[in-house]
Amino acid sequence: MTVLSLESYAAGRWVGPSGRTSLLRSAVTGEPVAEIGAAGLDVAAMAEHARSVGGPALRALTFHRRAAMLKALAQYLNARRDTLYELSYDTGATRADSAIDIDGGIGTLFVYASKGRRELPDDVVFLDGGLETLARDGAFVGQHVATSLHGVAVHINAFNFPVWGMLEKLAPTLLAGVPAIVKPASATAWLAEAAFRMIVESGVLPEGAVQFVAGGVGDLLDRLGGQDVVAFTGSAATATTLRANPGLIGNAVRFHAEQDSLNATVLGPDAAPGTPEFDAFVREVHREMTAKAGQKCTAIRRVIVPLPHRDAAIAAIAERLAATVVGDPRQEATGMGALASQAQRASVLEQAGLIGAEARRVFGDPEAFAVAGADARAGAFLPPMLFACDDPDGARAVHEVEAFGPVSTVMAYRDLAHAFALTNRGKGSLVASVFTGDPAVARAAVLACGAHHGRLYFADRDAGKAATGHGAPLPHMVHGGPGRAGGGEELGGIRGVLHYMQRTAVQASPRLMTGITRRWTPGAPALAGATHPFRMRFDELEIGHTLETAKRQVTLADIEHFAAFTGDTFYAHMDEAAAKANPFFPGRVAHGYLVLSFAAGLFVDPAPGPVLANYGLDDLRFLKPVSPGDTLRVRLTAKQKTGRSDAYGEVRWDVAVFNQAGEQVAGYDLLTMNAR
């Protein structure tokens, strides 16, 4: 086997191993796979390169251009997955395990690319929340905005997901406009290095956007400041050491940790043997014990079941485990591969020994198990090991020791309160799952366990195959957890992007606020022109372009015709006495949707033109009743523009409808697609 020489990528060039190097070995054969070492790396120059070259280049791009960059990168990697799959086998991962890692990481890039285009503006400033009126007359307003940090993100990743772990951090970081230095765990670094090399070779990212450390980071953390971020995934012990770094503390460096987690699954009292929920529960426990050989931060460590169903659950789980082939991950029949290294195998055995002091092992003997197609002594193999704890209230290790491998412990509960108390004894977890068909049980779980978990996963017969699984962090949802789990957050859609941005409270006049945010603020000067705004192409239209319409009177005949035509004969429109008895109405009033229809008739330009489609209304409010005899007029203002393609863009219009007294009776945002 050719031994790879892992290189770091620093300040735009590849740097080979130096100083005291280490050999990385195959988890399957024990043979050397790669050499790693970064003793001579100039990490100070790397940090400066990121801040002075990568940061400005990324911040010059809008969210949409960064999103397009992520999509192009995902497509490039997606076309080269087979190379990564082949390298992944020596980490002990099966083909299915590698799909979670490789396809999952690439999929995260695709999701963030899509979200960046759909949920972020074609700008470099993100508006966080709504406008706040700070003066009664509207002459002074406030808006929270988020802008890119002017530092570097240091990503310290775990060994279990060398590709996903890197890409799930890079996606929101790059979308936020912040450069990154990636430091993978050494045990599986050859796979991370191969994926990173593809990122560089793609030519998609600007210079300085990403750098890579194959080996130790030296004193890099001592060189970080208040504009920098450290995102760590790994053990609680290592996280504690990093948190205590004087530089991180003294400079208030943002620190996100995703660490040890004693995740639990609960079988609901209604999910008896023979129900779809029970069967799904057994499948999920088996999957979480065997996928990646249990080396998942979200894997099920504690299995909490009703006392009457304990023996049935143990028997069903053990039956599935017995049918699982442990062996060479290259073989199609293999259901569980090896742990990442001999050191990891030894660690899991030590931790399993602590659990075994409080619980009896009901399946899996590490001294006597079969390995298909490989040498059990040369590789880092273990069987799945299932324990049963008969006294979960008196036990400690089962709630405090995470055996980061194919190890889970079954324990029984008396009632729901007991079940959730046991669940929470993990002292903060990334995820807990509940298998139940009872909505009352699901709600009780949220109330009892929500504060202790970053994610709650519920499975019933209705979700079926659509359910993503207990152990699957999704880019759309928050990944992280309180307490022992580290107290950090990753992913969560745009929430993950905001971790790499600064939220700033901006206070200004409407005119200045419009200039800052590039979104028209009520009270800002209006731009009037002879051309109807619907006759202007996307690129011609200016923010603040306003149309003041003609007037139209609403008659009783209009209201009655609208009622007959639509079938909406609600009493407030048709019965004078009943309407007057209502505290909100002075008598019969116009339908809200009649007001909208008349408003559209006042501002719409009917001829074919740049407006291609009206595709929705946001924030619709009816502010004051419209009575027969009232006269309506509309103020239509171009509020915000967002490019969607080379052919068209989205225009958000502020629509304000007024009566004859100048009182606003309705307001909403109209969304149109306009040709460019």
Give SS3 for 363: strand
Question: Structure tokens of 647?
Answer: 């052919």
Question: Structure tokens of 433?
Answer: 């799952």
C-alpha distances out from residue 290 to 283, 300, 336, 386, 485, Å: 11, 10, 5, 11, 22
Residue 621 backbone class (left: φ over 0; alpha: ψ -120 to 50; beta: rest): beta
Taken as a whole, the chain contains a residue count of 676
Those residues whose C-beta lies under 8 Å from the C-beta of residue 638, and which sit 6 or more positions away, are 520, 533, 541, 542, 543, 544, 545, 546, 651, 652, 653
Question: Structure tokens of 535?
Answer: 């006759």
Q: Where is 669: in which H helix or E strand?
A: strand 664-675
Amino acid sitting at position 31: E
Complete DSSP assignment for 417-483: HHHHHHHHTTSSEEEEEEE-S-HHHHHHHHHHHGGGEEEEEEE-TTTGGG---TT---TTSEEE-SG
For 187-252, strand residue ranges (E) read 210-212, 229-233
Question: Structure tokens of 523?
Answer: 């009270």
Phi/psi of residue 613, each to 5°?
A: -165, 145
Phi/psi of residue 534, each to 5°?
A: -75, -10
CA distance 240 to 414: 36
Using alpha carbons, select from 627, 630, 634 the residue that is nearest to residue 666: 634
Looking at the annotation, which residues are catalytic?
Answer: 258, 297
Integer-rounded Cα Rg, in Å, for the chain is: 30
Residue 294 backbone class (left: φ over 0; alpha: ψ -120 to 50; beta: rest): left
User: Is residue 126 a contact partner of residue 120, using CB atoms and an 8 Å limit?
Assistant: yes
Those residues whose C-beta lies under 8 Å from the C-beta of residue 481, and which sit 6 or more positions away, are 258, 261, 428, 429, 430, 431, 453, 454, 455, 487
Question: Structure tokens of 96?
Answer: 């299915």
Complete DSSP assignment for 374-418: S-TTTTT----EEEEES-TTT-SHHHH----SSEEEEEEESSHHH
Question: Structure tokens of 594?
Answer: 């009649």
Place of tokens 């082939």: 325
Those residues whose C-beta lies under 8 Å from the C-beta of residue 52, and which sit 6 or more positions away, are 208
Amino acid sitting at position 644: R
User: Is residue 318 a contact partner of residue 290, using CB atoms and an 8 Å limit?
Assistant: no
Those residues whose C-beta lies under 8 Å from the C-beta of residue 13, and which sit 6 or more positions away, are none
CA distance 86 to 82: 6
What sign results for the dihedral spanned by CA atoms 12, 18, 20, 23? positive
For 141, half-sphere exposure in the C-beta direction (CA atoms, 13 angstrom radius) is 23
